[in-house]
Structure 1
Amino acid sequence: MKRVSLGWCCVLLSGMAMAATPAGDRPRVEASLLVTGWVEIAPTGKVEQYELDQPSKLPPGVVKLIDQSVSGWQFELAETGAAPVAKVRANMSLRMVASQRAKDRYQVRLAAAEFDTPASPGGSSGETLTIRRQPPPDYPQRLARAHVSGTVYLLLQVNRQGKVEKAAAEQVDLATYADDYDMKWWRIELANAAIRGVRQWTFNLPTTGPDAAKSSWLAQVPIQFEVLPGGSMQPSRDYGEWHAYVPGPRSVPAWAESAGGAGDPSAVPTGSLAEVGHGLRLTTPLAGP
């Protein structure tokens, strides 16, 4: 896997909320950066061209690493398992992660990617699962008062009534850390709050295309809990910013394992949905050859 070692990354973790914990007992802390753009795929399945949003706001090492990786990508359509029959373009989001390897030395890797449904010739906006109504989940008051923040990555099964039939937390990343016991219960509370919240959501079902006849649909959805100054819970992110977090363990529920194709959920942007098993699927290593 390609990595870029960046000495300046030592500043990434300086803004993270920390509890009083002995240094030797501290869990692994990483920093992440979400990069967006678009990619155009030729009928051969190879990348014909791509573009990153606002590259001037991104660290040069990150841009270089992405460029090295993209050249080796090969895609297929998830529905058919074959390369597209015509050129397609899709939006993409890439999760970059920086991990400490030695004092004042960090390595940056391309950890996850998400490619939304391509706007193929003759395609229709009714071919995909979309969110119709999404009232925000209630923030657990005990955690809000303690300024415990985190992101819950949910996997949902949506039924033909456009409602959530099943929901599970694949992963919970925390932006606040303490000892393992406290973080375990924080993750449980945030996950439960997120699941209760999405059960109130409703969805627009595919009405045309190969997915319209399905009995249910799987989707990955991130839910972010963050208390900001002034009591706001709506995060404001500047593009190109690194954010420190403690990664949680990933677990795919048994009811979703047979579907396959559910990738790392961390590349799905907050406020959006990624339908599992639809659109472009990467068939080569994410980090390139």
Structure 2
Amino acid sequence: MFRLILLLALAAAPFTVPAQSEAEVRAQAQASMVVSGSLDIEPDGLVSSLALEKEDQLPAYVVRAARNAVATWRFEPVILDGVARPVRLFIRLRVVAVPADDGGLTLSIGGVSFLDRDVPATDGFESIRQLPPEYPYYALERNASGDVYLLLEINREGRVARSAVERVNLRGVADEPTMDTLRRHFSEAALKAARRWHFRPPSTGPDAGEPSWTARVPVSYVMHGTVQSDQYGKWTAYVPGPVQSAPWLEDRAADANDAIASGSIQLVGAGPKLLTPLQPEG
């Protein structure tokens, strides 16, 4: 059933597909669903419980996949006042579905974001000026939608010193040259807007004294009638783009997290440190 829904969603994609490349591009298609809730981490770093929001409204197989993956996680113990302590975090998961060879589905955790709701707002970033980018005319002509994930180096004045595109996911299929051009136009528009953004950096907490910060910021380009990529508990079909890191990160490679909400900002490397893979093997 879901395999059919995924293919229909892509068949209704807004830009055209030459016959010779249709099968190849559709083979890259995935679907994702965003779910959220709370996660309890014990002093030894093991997860003791996961509570998903609106769990009764989610497909049982999605709940099962999330619980099975999270049960295998282990974190670096959270030290407070010199002692390892239990913590409860708000969690946001992106569950990814890929059609399997047998006609079923392969589900995995594609990304995760953590938020400690007890942390003061001054421990993070606050947007002062963050005007959205213009919708590229090339994409408007083709009724194309997509999501750009930016990596921004922000200085102590809250200005964007350097910027890079980590990934561009498209909500439809086309021949590879068209998709590459769409990704380029979406990227250029997002980067142009980001260079004018202004933030208030952390003034308290463990990150306050840094000379600069790297943040991940998602930008969504959504045509009328297209489902938002992070609409809770809804499947969204898309074609993922290649992942690139920012040149200034060097050995501190980003994790290409696309489980953060559009319009939010996430410090790269902040939060609890997960020691195990997001998705267990097998």
Question: Structure 2-normalised TM-score?
Answer: 0.88
Cα displacement (A) at 1:100: 1.8
- Which residues of structure 2 form unaligned runs of 5+? none
Give the 3 Å change call, closer, same or farther, for CA 282–105 of structure 1 in structure 2: same
Write the deviation string for residues 69-94 of structure 1: whole angstroms up to 9, x where unpaired. 1212111279x8xx972222221111
Paired position in structure 2 for 1:4: none
Paired position in structure 1 for 2:255: 263
The runs of 4+ residues in structure 1 deviating greater than 3 Å are: 233-238
Distance 1:205 1:84 in 2: 28
Write the deviation string for residues 193-237 of structure 1: whole angstroms up to 9, x where unpaired. 1111112221121112221111100111110001114xxx99496
Distance 1:197 1:155 in 2: 13
Distance 2:137 2:57 in 1: 36
AA at the equivalent of 2:247: A
1:124 aligns with 2:123: no
Query: Where in structure 2 are the equivalents of 1:186-265 lying within 5 Å?
Result: 186-229=182-225, 235=228, 238-260=231-253, 262-265=254-257
Distance 2:227 2:130 in 1: 14
Contact 2:50–2:67, Cα closer than 8 Å, also in 1: no
Paired position in structure 2 for 1:173: 169
Question: Structure 1-normalised TM-score?
Answer: 0.86
Contact 1:77–1:279, Cα closer than 8 Å, also in 2: no
Paired position in structure 1 for 2:85: 86
Identity %: 33
1:55 aligns with 2:55: yes
Paired position in structure 1 for 2:6: 12
Distance 1:84 1:30 in 2: 43
Of 179-188 and 137-146, the range deviating more from structure 2: 137-146
Distance 1:62 1:210 in 2: 35
Distance 1:189 1:154 in 2: 14
Distance 1:242 1:84 in 2: 41
Query: Where in structure 2 are the equivalents of 1:17-36 lying within 5 Å?
Result: 17=13, 18-22=15-19, 23-27=22-26, 28-36=28-36
Paired position in structure 1 for 2:104: 105
Contact 1:77–1:84, Cα closer than 8 Å, also in 2: no
What secondary structure sits across from 1:182 in the alignment? helix
AA at the equivalent of 2:232: Y
Contact 2:39–2:50, Cα closer than 8 Å, also in 1: yes
Paired position in structure 2 for 1:3: none
Contact 1:9–1:106, Cα closer than 8 Å, also in 2: yes
Give the 3 Å change call, closer, same or farther, for CA 13–84 of structure 1 in structure 2: farther
Paired position in structure 1 for 2:40: 40
Give the 3 Å change call, closer, same or farther, for CA 226–67 of structure 1 in structure 2: same
